[in-house]
Structure 1
Amino acid sequence: MASKIKRILLGKPLKSTELGEQKLRKTKALAILSSDALSSVAYGPEQILLVLVTIGAAAFWYSVPIGIGVLILLAALILSYRQIIFAYPHGGGAYVVSKENLGLSYGLVAGGSLLVDYILTVAVSVSAGTDAVTSAFPSLHDYNVPIAVAFVIFITILNLRGVTESASILAYPVYLFVLALFILIGVGLYRIAAGDVSPELHASIGTPVAGIGLFILLKAFASGSSALTGVEAISNAIPNFKAPAPNNAAKTLAAMGILLAALFSGIVFLAYYYGIAPRHDVTVVSQIAEETFGRNFMYYFIQGTTALILILAANTGYSAFPLLAVNLAKDKFIPRMFTVRGDRLGYSNGIIFLGVFSMLLIIAFQGQTEHLIPLYAVGVFIPFTLSQSGMILKWIREKPRGWRTKLAINLIGALISFTVSVIFFLTKFPMVWPILVFLPIIIFVFYQIRRHYAAVGEQLRLASCEPAVPIEGNVIIVPVSGITHVVEHSLNYAQSLKAEQIIAVYIPFEREDEVRFEEKWNKWKPDIRLVTLPSPYRTIIQPLIRFLDVVQRKASESNYQVTVIIPQFIPKKGWHNILHNQTSFMIRARLLMYSKDIIITTVPYHLKK
């Protein structure tokens, strides 16, 4: 049944030879990898206004020069990451760049920050998309969290179906959103030029504002820079592009930068000119659309496409997180399961992990986007800073042709990224301090996982292991619960192994059970030794383990191997298992955990009805 449901949701498995067909063209890659950056237009300008509104509506004109500053930072990042794409064509982004040029610890800081950031990408995008839905339909506002969780489940399933299939579906909402915003910006600018919008709605640029200061402006700039999250995703996902992958990735990055700059500047200007003030229950884009078109078809079209891209922008995380996890797993800093491709040739374990933790984050923060964005933004500007710094050292060390220009580009990107990171910590410390706690914990876990893999490798390697002790004979222990076909089948198997000794172990809870079973056993299998271990506290595991310890000590003196054969019947239907105690499973699990140098074998007996 579970297999049928899986096939319905995910589709039939793909052959490994079909991997090349899962690569992305530029148009699909732009949709699937740029949706996070493009969607941030819906909340980036709003974050600027949320800071300025603390001073008053007269301060809104500062959003224009702040927006210009954000565009300068965008240009620096686009040029910087374009160089990273060609320098590291196999992907990996900030993690690989930092690790190779700054050192392993810096690489882990970048990698850990990005892993958390992609989880936040999903949580922030879906939360913001849900806000857009409830802005259009206020009656749904109380159901933000369940709606957001449902969207995450949908996107997770979509990505488990494969990269190309999810890209084919996601391309339409992304391009519809771009079209909708260009229409909104175009009509808005036309109305302004035609004089349909009163200039009294906003304060003129340059108007003196009491109470404004450098601290507020820097805080607003840092908040607006949240619109640049997701810029690094393309450099992480180069392996997903069709050949020539670096060239296609660079062109996609440039297209994303141009679209993001146009949409961001347009929304910032319209919000300023309309005198839009941020509200708790209605987004800034929603207010601009209502001012421009009223509550008609175009308003709902813009809100619908905005909600779609905000929700589906989470797909950037689903595209980049698994590939980053693969790089970390290959270096043995996270479990190797993240390197395994699923039925549809995607890295399914990374996709599922991302979906589960994103839902937990949405539930923990109750879907409140404004609480997530600062942590989300600072988490991505740390890797921005490290990757640009790594590239600076790379150019100084290698000095390729034109290295001075490349150095200047990365130097500007590093300085601005570092400045934004510092501003975040100075202006939003109460919101971003958790990164100072969980990032060291994540890096500690990275090293512990790698230490574990090193220890396992050392113990399994023939050259470094102690020579195996030769086995002179075998002692077989068979726990029995009664005289049944299951037990008979297991005893027959034990006898076929020609062991030196076979011992059946029965654990009665009452004295009468012990006497009665011994009488039956002596009539049924007198040739096989029976040991009874009374258990007045009605536990099976502890008496069995104590007995095995005694047998193991005696067997080791003669280099005998102790083997436990566990009889187990298998019901015909899977759901029948819940009707039984699963004692054999519990015995096996406990012995594997606590009994060293003992071989555990399960002998299944399949029921026919």
Structure 2
Amino acid sequence: MSKLTDIPKRILIGRALRSDKLGETLLPKRIALPVFASDPLSSVAYAPGEVLLVLSVAGVSAYSYSPWIAVAVVVLMFTVVASYRQNVHAYPSGGGDYEVANVNLGPRAGLTVASALLVDYVLTVAVSISSGVENLGSAVPFVVEHKELSAVAIILLLTLMNLRGVRESGKLFSIPTYVFVAGVFLLLAWGAYRGLVRGDDMNAPTAGYEIQPEHTGLAGFALVFLLLRAFSSGCAALTGVEAISNGVPAFRKPKSRNAATTLALMGGLAVTMFCGIIALAMATDVKMAENPAHDLLKDGKPVGEDYTQNPVISQVAAAVFGDGTFMFVVLAAATALVLFLAANTAYNGFPLLGSILAQDRYLPRQLHTRGDRLAFSNGIVLLAGAAAVLVYIYGADSTKLIQLYIVGVFVSFTLSQTGMVRHWNRHLRTERDPAARRRMIRSRAINTFGAFFTGLVLVVVLLTKFTHGAWVALLGMVIFYVTMSAIRRHYDGVAEELTADDAPYDDAVRPSRVHAIVLVSKIHKPTLRALAYAKLMRSDKLEAVSVGVDAAETKALQTEWHERGLDVPLKVLDSPYREITRPVIDYVKSLRRESPRDVVSVYIPEYVVGRWYEHLLHNQSALRLKGRLLFTPGVMVTSVPWQLDSSELARKRARKRAEWNAPGSVRRGPVPVQQAQPKEEKKAAVKK
């Protein structure tokens, strides 16, 4: 059965990779750029349009402010890029903003950053896929008619690609990303040549349209508020910048230097393309409206519900290249593809952050382990599921989804840069080298300016977008924060309860003789109880068996084993593919082949819990092992339970239910409660 299920798995995601092949999956800069920077690079396809959409509330005259908004976005982009270049050098382990905030501002700040980033990664997938569907829909009507289905199908396809591994998916994704970048630069160059050198009259398809403003004659505070809202929408161009600081371990050596170079290259490309699209949109007289059916006028009349408003980049390409020309089609296709692939930034950031949080016991341990292809498969699947739900709820509408966007990323920006300021302050207290102190002071100044600027933008975003949907993102952050805090409290409580003391493990009551293998993951009270139970069975042979998934953890286990002086031999089974079940099954079968007449008894320490959700956090490997071992001839499986404190709740519930059972219900089962029978039915039953 396992072979039958393994064949389609291998077809979809490829053959399993050994743990020692992890170094071969590291990325050079040319592949790391499209993998980690596809989100900010692709944002030029929708960020300029969001600026114009907001300004259209005040009419076409407000479009004159768009260049100044673009300048503010550019200053912010350079500030964030310069700040994160300090981050990747100071914290190259891959924790990114979470690690910076956790180390310098405390666990609560770190958990806040983690919650913000997890929400932002989910929204990155939802917004990118929805925007890509809308761009593709201008050429393929079926996609627009079935937006939700198309978006979910693309999410599924991206998930399968990422399950194949970072490097393999990166090679595939790099082609459309570079085609898109080249196409945009060609668009800017050809547009500048036609407009400045040849003096051609370039008009967008909506150049002759008019906009009916929702509010005319805005001035004073109302105008300032509108400009701030437009600026906050334009800041969508900055999403994904933090992904490089989270993905430093995926770069080739020297990791920090390559990551910093990739950051600088990404910032330069994104800024140039964003400003160029805004300039060409102004030159070609592009018109955008938040409610085009009523606010966009053609010959003095609303365009109606049948009108499809194309993105800014499509309208600019139609004006510069000509509608339907070869370059127009190439750029449109590349734009749709790169918007789909922009979600890949989140597919690399979310699982890695989830793995770090799982290692810190804020998320279930299953998210910490790499899958067959050395990717964090569980995190990838979790991200895909959350994004698919969000796309379905919001109907794959990028305009609605983008209102939820960028709140989380600016929370992480602000706390991360504040943490870096404290990082440099701490190091300056002990550093005496003048040259090193000058570098630290310069870095601190960059991070201080970054913290102030991103904090200011965060306030603007909250003020201008809260009622437009930003509250949903904040609610998601609160849910993540509370859930992760609860998981951490649970794991901490279990760890404290299970901490092995110095009492000898052979004080337990001696059972009958067995031939035993005790499965060991770490040394704690359940392990010591299982060893005592097996050792004192007076078995013919007794050994403890552990599966070596992580070299550091295995070495620590062996060291502690010898330090405690445990007289049971410890055998470590090598698992190059990080599997737990198969190495144990193969080892037990080898024992059976060597001595077919012997009986092997496998002892598995297990936790006894009392709450339904605790079953999701514990005993998953034990369940898989028992399921496989029960079908192995000559093998007996024994669970050695360790009752956690919460198991008392289940015992009380069971006792309460038992009070309502009639005598003898243990033999025949509880008697169901029946309604009183009418007298006629009772008489008929007596006669029978």
- What TM-score do you get using the length of structure 2 for normalisation? 0.67
Distance change >3 Å, CA 442–CA 389, structure 1 → 2: same
- 1:184 Cα deviation (Å)? 1.2
**What is the rounded CA distance, in whole Å, between the counterparts of 1:61 and 1:310 in structure 2?**
28
Matching of residue 248 in structure 1 with residue 264 in structure 2: no
- 1:441 Cα deviation (Å)? 2.5
Give me the CA root mean square deviation: 2.8
Structure 1: segments with no counterpart, 5+ residues: 204-208, 475-496, 499-564, 571-590, 599-609
Q: Which residue of 2 aligns with 1:460?
A: 498
Matching of residue 80 in structure 1 with residue 83 in structure 2: yes
Query: Is this contact kept in 1: 2:124–2:343, CA < 8 A?
Result: yes
**What is the rounded CA distance, in whole Å, between the counterparts of 2:239 and 2:412 in structure 1?**
11
Q: Which residue of 2 aligns with 1:441?
A: 479
Letter of the 1:420 counterpart: V
Q: Which residue of 2 aligns with 1:196?
A: 200
- 1:461 Cα deviation (Å)? 2.0
Matching of residue 391 in structure 1 with residue 429 in structure 2: no
Q: Which residue of 1 aligns with 2:237?
A: 227
Question: What's the secondary structure of 1:191's corresponding residue?
Answer: helix
Q: Which residue of 2 aligns with 1:525?
A: none
Matching of residue 140 in structure 1 with residue 137 in structure 2: no
Matching of residue 416 in structure 1 with residue 453 in structure 2: yes
Structure 2: segments with no counterpart, 5+ residues: 210-215, 293-307, 429-436, 513-536, 539-625, 632-646, 655-688
- 1:424 Cα deviation (Å)? 1.2
Letter of the 1:196 counterpart: D
**What is the rounded CA distance, in whole Å, between the counterparts of 2:449 and 2:228 in structure 1?**
18
Distance change >3 Å, CA 465–CA 210, structure 1 → 2: farther
Query: Is this contact kept in 2: 1:135–1:283, CA < 8 A?
Result: no
**What is the rounded CA distance, in whole Å, between the counterparts of 1:461 and 1:63 in structure 2?**
61
Q: Which residue of 2 aligns with 1:513?
A: none
- What TM-score do you get using the length of structure 1 for normalisation? 0.75
Letter of the 1:426 counterpart: L
Letter of the 1:89 counterpart: P
Q: Which residue of 2 aligns with 1:120?
A: 123
Query: Is this contact kept in 2: 1:22–1:163, CA < 8 A?
Result: yes
Q: Following TM superposition, where does structure 1 have runs of at least 4 consecutive aligned residues deviating by more than 3 angstroms?
A: 198-203, 464-474, 591-596
Distance change >3 Å, CA 243–CA 211, structure 1 → 2: same
Of 21, 35, 40, 1:37 maps to 40
Query: Is this contact kept in 2: 1:85–1:249, CA < 8 A?
Result: yes
Query: Is this contact kept in 2: 1:458–1:465, CA < 8 A?
Result: no
**What is the rounded CA distance, in whole Å, between the counterparts of 1:302 and 1:117 in structure 2?**
27
- 1:435 Cα deviation (Å)? 3.1
Distance change >3 Å, CA 305–CA 124, structure 1 → 2: same
Q: Which residue of 1 aligns with 2:9?
A: 6
**What is the rounded CA distance, in whole Å, between the counterparts of 2:188 and 2:100 in structure 1?**
38
Residues 316-372 of structure 1 show CA distances to partners (whole Å, capped at 9, x for unaligned) of 001111111121111111111111011111111111111111111111111011111
Of 404, 416, 439, 1:402 maps to 439
Question: What's the secondary structure of 2:167's corresponding residue?
Answer: helix
**What is the rounded CA distance, in whole Å, between the counterparts of 1:100 and 1:401 in structure 2?**
23
- 1:469 Cα deviation (Å)? 7.9
Question: What's the secondary structure of 2:146's corresponding residue?
Answer: helix
Q: Which residue of 2 aligns with 1:427?
A: 464
Q: Which residue of 1 aligns with 2:319?
A: 291
- 1:467 Cα deviation (Å)? 8.1
Query: Is this contact kept in 2: 1:124–1:369, CA < 8 A?
Result: yes
Residues 81-116 of structure 1 show CA distances to partners (whole Å, capped at 9, x for unaligned) of 000010111121110111111111111110110011
Letter of the 1:269 counterpart: A
Query: Is this contact kept in 2: 1:229–1:380, CA < 8 A?
Result: yes
Query: Is this contact kept in 2: 1:459–1:465, CA < 8 A?
Result: no
**What is the rounded CA distance, in whole Å, between the counterparts of 1:31 and 1:148 in structure 2?**
21
Matching of residue 155 in structure 1 with residue 158 in structure 2: yes
- 1:595 Cα deviation (Å)? 6.9
**What is the rounded CA distance, in whole Å, between the counterparts of 2:649 and 2:287 in structure 1?**
61
**What is the rounded CA distance, in whole Å, between the counterparts of 1:333 and 1:595 in structure 2?**
28
Query: Is this contact kept in 1: 2:132–2:340, CA < 8 A?
Result: yes
How many residues are matched? 484
My pick for the range that moved more, 421-430 or 26-35, is 421-430
Q: Which residue of 2 aligns with 1:488?
A: none
Q: Which residue of 2 aligns with 1:451?
A: 489
Matching of residue 345 in structure 1 with residue 374 in structure 2: yes
Letter of the 2:326 counterpart: F
- 1:12 Cα deviation (Å)? 0.6
**What is the rounded CA distance, in whole Å, between the counterparts of 1:61 and 1:233 in structure 2?**
33
Matching of residue 167 in structure 1 with residue 167 in structure 2: no
